[in-house]
Amino acid sequence: MSRTADAAASQCAEQLLRDLGISSLPVDPVAIAARHGIVVQPKANAEPGISGLLVKVGDTFGIMYATHLGNEGYERFSVGHELGHFFLPGHIDAVIGPDGLHASRAGFASVDRFEAEADHFSAGLLMPRRLFVNAIASAGEGLDAVETLATTCKTSLTATAIRLAQCTPDPLAVIMSTGPQIDYCFISDTLRELSGIDWIRKGQIVPRASATFAFNQNSADVKAGKRTSGTSDLQDWFGGSRSIEVTEDIMGLGSLGKTLTILYGFEVPDEDEEAEEESTVASWKPHFRR
Ligand SMILES: [Zn+2]
């Protein structure tokens, strides 16, 4: 996955909104499809894991979206994902098979380049940066912010949390886990810039000392969609050289057995102060000639 290509996909969606004169939330992806002559229909019996289909018959396109999760935000995201294949350069030729069909797995879990780009297109379409950043300013913090923004944008908690990590001016991490395993992680630019932070790799283990680890011990709580809060040390999650206490908001995502964790409220030591302290300490240290 390339961060540049992903950002370009979001920007392509934002340009489309400007071209269509859409400047308020929530964005209606079905209306956008209709304006381009694309018919959108629900599909009740989609294969497990399939979020939607892009169908091409002659020169006409149609979109079907899976309804089995009963989650309006996810359905809108799925329609946005198919629109991504329609609007992103090179996608139609790459993804539609000889049968005129493309079956999608939307939701940021696929490692396929085209699927990832279509996800980022959908996120940019439903949560365009400029409007979303304005909404972030009054949305609160942590999971509360994610829920408020999801209501404003009519998007799923997962997609909203990931977009929050991409657009927030604050240090923040969004981590998806299943039991002891981390599925994936998105971190904000300001957190990325903090020195000494390692990446969480796919398949890494949820740190034992975290509140998420304790929460995931009880799969019934995950399935019931319960939520809780705690604190943990950023170092336990990302490694790095510094211990930084963070607030940890946690929510079970229901039948999928996945858990959403938001790390925020970082107590970041001021780098200048730290550097000053270090230089003071250094000047007090005896110097030996070699
Ligand atoms: Zn797709």
Q: Give SS3 for 184.
A: strand
Q: Could you report how far apart the first and last alpha carbons of the chain are, in Å? A: 49
CATH of the domain at 222: 3.30.450
List per-block mean pLDDT (blocks of 10 residues) for the chain, which spans 290 residues: 83 98 98 97 88 94 91 94 97 95 87 94 97 97 97 96 95 95 90 72 84 96 96 87 90 91 84 51 42
Range of the domain at 93: 3-130
Do 262 and 185 have their domain in common? Answer: yes
**Residue 278 domain-assigned (yes or no):** no
pTM score:
0.87
- pLDDT in the model for residue 203: 67
Number of domains comprising the chain: 2
DSSP letter for each residue of 19-77: HHT--SSSP-HHHHHHHTT-EEEEETTPPTT--EEEEEETTEEEEEEE-TT--HHHHHH
Do 7 and 126 have their domain in common? Answer: yes
Distance 252 CA to ligand 1 centre (A): 26
Distance 190 CA to ligand 1 centre (A): 30
Distance 126 CA to ligand 1 centre (A): 16
CA 150, CA 163: separation in Å to the nearest integer?
10
Which residues 6+ apart lie within 8 Å of 199 measured at CB?
185, 238
**79: which 2 tokens?**
């329609």
- pLDDT in the model for residue 271: 59
- pLDDT in the model for residue 92: 96
Distance 111 CA to ligand 1 centre (A): 11
- pLDDT in the model for residue 68: 83
**Residue 145 domain-assigned (yes or no):** no
- pLDDT in the model for residue 240: 76
- pLDDT in the model for residue 49: 84
- pLDDT in the model for residue 171: 93
Distance 97 CA to ligand 1 centre (A): 12
